[in-house]
Amino acid sequence: MLGVTGGIAAYKSAILVRHLCNAGAEVQVVLTQGAAQFVTPVTLQALSGRPVRDDLWDPEAEAAMGHIELARWADLILVAPATAHFMAELAQGAAPDLLTTLCLASDAPVLLAPAMNQAMWRDAATQRNAATLAADGKRLIGPAEGEQACGDVGPGRMAEPEALLEAVQAAFLSPRLAALNVLVTAGPTREALDPVRFLSNHSSGKQGYAIAKAAAEAGARVTLVSGPCGLPAPANVECIEVTSALDMHEAVQARAAEQALVIGVAAVADYRPATQALQKIKKDSAGRGAAEPPAIALVENPDIIASVAALPNGPVVVGFAAETENALDNARRKRRRKGLDAIVVNDVSNPKIGFNSDHNAATLIWADGEVELAYQGKETLAASLIQHLANLFFPSSGEGAGAVAKPTPLSVARSGRS
């Protein structure tokens, strides 16, 4: 069921209906009164092949399929766009119209794609409602950041229809990594110069933590080996905190043999200072004058995921490549050079998906195929990545004990293997 509420992003709902139908879904569109100001029921009926519902009090429609029956019919409810007003009603459990009533009456998972002006999204009341809805088990996808129809720039754009399709598909897949051991590296490493100084990088750890969370949600036993980034460990994930590349290497090596899948998301320092001073380096230490800057000699760190990939009968190994030029070509070469089964590349020269952003866009590359992971939140991108890796490398896992019976998965039309 696709709920459409009254925001300008409603024009994208038509494309979304098209994507969902092409992927094999039966789509029942439910419009609010506000939505009907932006898109016509005729457009959405033509695209979905079903009469659009928009009225709780329509005796004819109610006679054909009453709202409770309709609520039971839905395997999943996606509300896109979800306005601030709609989110406020849903957070309160209010049911003044058909769509809110259906959301309340249905046991199906509810996904929401918030879309509104950036100031409305940042408003304390909206943030409170978003947190309430998330705590109630609703999944929020987006909003994305960028230019808005009103001319503002900021968070509030509806996630793109392609990203919403991916989130819907991911929600239909069963726990595909059930009972598999998965290890994820995340965050930066710190390479000490002396007891108070280190070399490091801007990695926030957000993407790695989101991937560990998504793997755990897909049923895996997840170990997260994390450099210092101050994020809380996701639920059901064993977190091992490390500082330097050598610590991370040791922690990963000790656990590599028992893993089915290792995903290297950490931004590991390629080099470390050749020596680590035991005492704080003073301006005039070692006979240098204060005016003479010290030279830092560096030595290479071990390549953590390349060493795992080199293990005989080792796990499936997936790397990340943050590139600033020739992203795809560099990543294809990097995958082969490190002996990886797959690599996820993102172009970090794009400021919208930089190290500290909550969003990302990437391409997953494996030996005989590539797939784009559209611009979206790091959490939904992580869920989509995990489903692709499960399809590619563990096609038969998760179908036995522990797999939750779900409605028929939508087909995933992709290049190469699917």
Binding-site ranges for ligand CTP (CB under 6 A): 185, 245, 264, 266, 268, 270, 301, 303-305, 319-322, 334
Question: What is the nearest approach in angstroms of ligand CTP to the Cβ of residue 166?
Answer: 22
Token duo for residue 235: 């639920």
Question: Which residues are CB-contacts of 100 (< 8 A; sequence separation ≥ 6)?
Answer: 86, 89, 90, 94
d(CA 219, CA 181): 9
3-state secondary structure of 186: strand
Question: What is the nearest approach in angstroms of ligand CTP to the Cβ of residue 368?
Answer: 20
- Nearer to ligand CTP by C-beta: 27 or 344? 344
Confirm whether 21 is a catalytic residue: no
Question: What is the nearest approach in angstroms of ligand CTP to the Cβ of residue 286?
Answer: 29
Question: What is the nearest approach in angstroms of ligand CTP to the Cβ of residue 350?
Answer: 16
d(CA 233, CA 41): 45
Q: Out of 21, 103, 150, 239, which one is annotated catalytic?
A: 150
Which is nearest to 413 in space by CA: 369, 361, 351? 369
Residue corresponding to tokens 């940042």: 122
Which is nearest to 265 in space by CA: 360, 181, 161? 360
- Nearer to ligand CTP by C-beta: 29 or 308? 308
Q: Are strands 359-366 and 342-347 parallel, antiparallel or unpaired?
A: antiparallel
- Alpha carbon separation from 403 to 72, 175, 397 (Å, rounded): 22, 6, 9
Which is nearest to 56 in space by CA: 13, 88, 100, 89? 100
- Nearer to ligand CTP by C-beta: 51 or 228? 228
Question: What is the nearest approach in angstroms of ligand CTP to the Cβ of residue 138?
Answer: 33
Residue corresponding to tokens 């457009």: 43
Residue 162 amino acid letter: E
- Nearer to ligand CTP by C-beta: 334 or 388? 334
| H-only helix segments in 140-291 | 161-172, 206-217, 245-256
- Nearer to ligand CTP by C-beta: 34 or 314? 314
Neighbours of 240 (CB within 10 A): 17
Which is nearest to 363 in space by CA: 379, 349, 384? 384
Question: What is the nearest approach in angstroms of ligand CTP to the Cβ of residue 119?
Answer: 38
- Nearer to ligand CTP by C-beta: 83 or 244? 244
Residues involved in catalysis: 150
